[in-house]
Amino acid sequence: MEKLRTAMNFCICYQKTLGYSVVSLLTIASEQIFSLVAFRCPCNSWNTLYGCVFLLVPALLLFLFGYMVNARTWLLLTGSCSLEKKHCCGSWGKGCFYLKVLAPVTVSILVAPLTWIAVALLSASFYECAASGSSLIRNQVCTDMDNPEACWELLEKIPCDENVVRQLLNENSTSKGGLVSFRAQSQILGWLLIVTIITVAFISKCISRCFFPVSYFQLKFWKIYLEKEREHFETKAKEHATQLAKRNINCFFEATNPPPFQTPSNEDWQEISLPYAFSKNDQCYSMIHKYINANRGKISTSGERDQISCVLRFVDEAHINEQGF
């Protein structure tokens, strides 16, 4: 039991890292299955388009799907353009606010698309197909050939027959300098992309930690508070919803007038649903905490949006672990 508790604590502490790892592994597995089952390079003039589609379109779909299942996207957008607030939907200030909130979301969503592209480049099948039909490669390899058209046709057949490379070299030895292995090019680009991603991620992590407005131990306490707040919120929300449903059903079947029932207003729900905005003057650990203090006259909610901090997005994420759908 103690080992199970230790494992659970480890998963909770490193849930974001584990989540990224699972997404990456699933993307790698999907790419391998996709390459074996669906990909068949046509080895003709369609090579470039076909290879680029298989290399980039799945990455684009993963990117869009990431937005769809990211709950923070819907936290920001849900109800933001309702009828009574239409005048602010197109404002420049609100657009900048959306971009500021969605920027860290976009970074996390890029994990799957970039993983797809990196793994696809390392496996080299998609790139080899696309490069073999490229006009740039044609001009580089076939310019000095006696029969450039025949050279083009041979280049297009490289993904289907590796012996074509030897045939090209036998026909004209001057092409050796320009004819580089497409597989080698692809794998080099793949490793460069991986190194770039890891380097940028490491530097970004260091910079974000440097700009944290709180200390390490206060941050630790903050995350504990958010976890407990989420647990109590879910418990109380279920109790409250159960009582309200019970009252309404009883009144319906008994044909009686409903007794008074205190429940948060639409404005109250809207206030606690806003993305968290940090203020050095007010020690509030969540939007519920800020709402309670504001109602008691301790703080003012005006201008808080201008103080939103991208490095504190974990505050919003504490209550939106479920999928965006």
Most confident of 8-22, 38-52, 237-251: 237-251
Instruction: Enumerate residues 6+ apart whose C-beta is below 8 A from 119.
Output: 27, 28, 31, 32, 190
Domains of the chain by residue range: 2-78+87-133+180-210, 216-317
Mean pLDDT of the chain: 78
CB atoms within 10 A of CB 243: 12
Ranking 75-79, 264-268, 291-295 by mean pLDDT, the lowest is: 75-79
**The two three-digit tokens of residue 223, written as one number:** 């995350």
Please tell me the predicted confidence (pLDDT) of residue 190.
94
pLDDT of residue 324: 47
Burial class (CB in 10 A: 0-12, 13-18, 19+), 172: middle
Q: Nearest CA to 272 among 315, 324, 322, 212?
A: 315
What share of the chain has pLDDT > 70, as a percent?
73
Residue type, 5: R
Q: Mention every residue, 6+ apart, whose C-beta is less than 8 A from residue 141.
A: 151, 155, 168, 175, 178, 179
154, 172 contact by CB (below 8 A): no
Greater model confidence, 289 or 145: 289
Residue among 33, 17, 37 nearest 119 (CA): 33
**Structure tokens belonging to residue 74:** 């819907």
Tally of CA atoms within 13 A in the half-sphere of 93 that contains its CB: 5
pLDDT tens-digit series, residues 96-136: 767 777 888 888 889 889 999 999 999 988 998 998 888 88
Q: What is the pLDDT of residue 298?
A: 54
Least confident of 8-22, 143-157, 281-295, 299-313: 299-313
Q: What is the pLDDT of residue 241?
A: 94
Structure tokens at 166: 């030897």
The confidence score (pLDDT) of residue 182 equals: 82
> Tokens in use for 59?
């990455």
Q: What pLDDT was estimated at residue 127? A: 92
Tell me how crowded residue 44 is: count the other CB atoms within 10 A of its CB. Answer: 13
